[in-house]
Structure 1
Amino acid sequence: MDSPSSNRWPGPNGVHALPASAAAAVKVVVVGSFGVGKTTMVGAVSEIQPLTTEERITEASVGIDDTAGLEGKSSTTVAMDFGRISVNDELVLYLFGTPGQERFWFLWNGLFEGALGAVVLIDPRRLELSFDVLHRLEERRLPFVVAVNQFDGAPLHSIPDLREALDLPGWVPIVACDARRRSSSRDVLLSLMRYLYSLTTSPERL
């Protein structure tokens, strides 16, 4: 990472082990519709080699998965992505990226189990695909922040316009990010941690 507190700790056989000072581990899910950059974010921010379950997109997805605007996408997550980031010497986040295609959403229940919060990654070119994702999180009463992945050439929406379009209450954080950049993805996770901490004093917001 980009700060001294996020140093890597090499373990046996080159595996990155947790520091002895680690006192808490938190599970976080990274969710979003098909092609919003979940695998990219987990891979960019993880301090260990991320586990991915990507498969090539084949003709079997034609007419099933909405690939409009994603003509260059050749692979997709079919189970989950997994990574880890040490926020500081005491707090470690385990990241679970969910599959985006609706036909794989049945896997979300298991991935959400035990999660403290979520990052909802959205594509500003395809906001309408985020509505069902947000609805599912609201039904589960799982706290989340919304991260707008700024794809090259994507429209720039103001935060108030995004909040209105997504029908989000004023206290849910909305942040811009570039899922390809480690520092930007880290800042999204820090926003989630700050939001989760704020809920300890204002639980009625859940």
Structure 2
Amino acid sequence: MDYRSSDSPGLETHAGPRSEDVLPASATAAVKVVIVGGFGVGKTTLVGSVSEIRPLTTEETMTQAGVGVDDIAGIEHKTETTVAMDFGRISINDQLVLYLFGTPGQERFWFLWNGLFEGALGAVVLLDTRRMDVSYDVIGRLEEKGVPFVVGVNRFPQAPRYPMEQLRAAMDLDESVPMVDCDARDRASCRDTLLTLMRYLYTLTTASTEHQ
């Protein structure tokens, strides 16, 4: 069997990670954040839009195995699905870096969530107003595990629009939980949603310190 050597024409070699993947020397803190939501709400899109490195995805083509198991009502055009996790990274500033872990949405893959939640400081819940019911159990699991979260209402084209107060009531969310508009396709919108989570976590930490 013939092998191409490192001197072979057309074969690029890289010593170590790509420059764009290296953390800045000024980074002093890294935080794990999970992006959660029901099946097809835009988690993979969000991670890919906001990540400053090439995101790792575990999307596979949907097959007949999911027929009758995965609810695709309202997202019939969807052809791929995350089966393990998505991973990306974003630097909030020179010191703070967020590691993003997108969870699989189908309930049959929820057994993977325990490992993804471990060590997470907080979460972003993506909400699709066309299929709000897929997020009820997601929020319930976060509350059960005590993971702080914010809700990003992913504005899909042609999706119905509701006032935030109406959505909050429908999801039975506490008034203290932030809800924001989010376009998972837009980097700036995704970044702002993550900043909302960071501010919320800071508020929780400050309040906890004041009560000690």
User: Does the TM-score normalized on the shorter chain lie above 0.5?
Assistant: yes
Aligned to 1:184: 189
Aligned to 1:6: none
Aligned to 1:57: 62
1:104 paired with 2:100, answer no
SS in structure 2 at match of 1:69: coil
Mark the structure with the bigger radius of gyration.
2
Moved over 6 A (4+): none
Aligned to 1:93: 98
- Cα deviation code 1:31-85 (max 9, x no counterpart): 0000000000000000000000000000110000000011110000000000000
5+ unaligned residues in a row in structure 1: which ranges?
1-10
RMSD: 1.2
C-alpha deviation, 1:16, in angstroms? 1.7
C-alpha deviation, 1:200, in angstroms? 1.1
1:139 paired with 2:144, answer yes
Match of 1:170 among 163, 171, 175: 175
SS in structure 1 at match of 2:21: coil
Percent identical among aligned pairs is 69
Instruction: Give the structure-1-normalised TM-score.
Output: 0.92
5+ unaligned residues in a row in structure 2: which ranges?
1-15
Aligned to 1:151: 156
SS in structure 1 at match of 2:137: helix
C-alpha deviation, 1:198, in angstroms? 0.3
Cα distance between partner residues in 2 of 1:203 and 1:119? 21
Cα distance between partner residues in 2 of 1:188 and 1:74? 27
Aligned to 2:7: none
Cα distance between partner residues in 1 of 2:151 and 2:83? 22
Aligned to 2:33: 28
Aligned to 1:198: 203
Aligned to 1:5: none
Match of 2:129 among 124, 128, 145: 124
C-alpha deviation, 1:201, in angstroms? 2.1
Cα distance between partner residues in 1 of 2:78 and 2:164? 28
Aligned to 2:24: 19
Cα distance between partner residues in 2 of 1:17 and 1:142? 29
Cα distance between partner residues in 2 of 1:105 and 1:152? 28
Cα distance between partner residues in 1 of 2:117 and 2:52? 22
C-alpha deviation, 1:128, in angstroms? 1.1
Cα distance between partner residues in 2 of 1:78 and 1:174? 27
Cα distance between partner residues in 1 of 2:71 and 2:207? 38
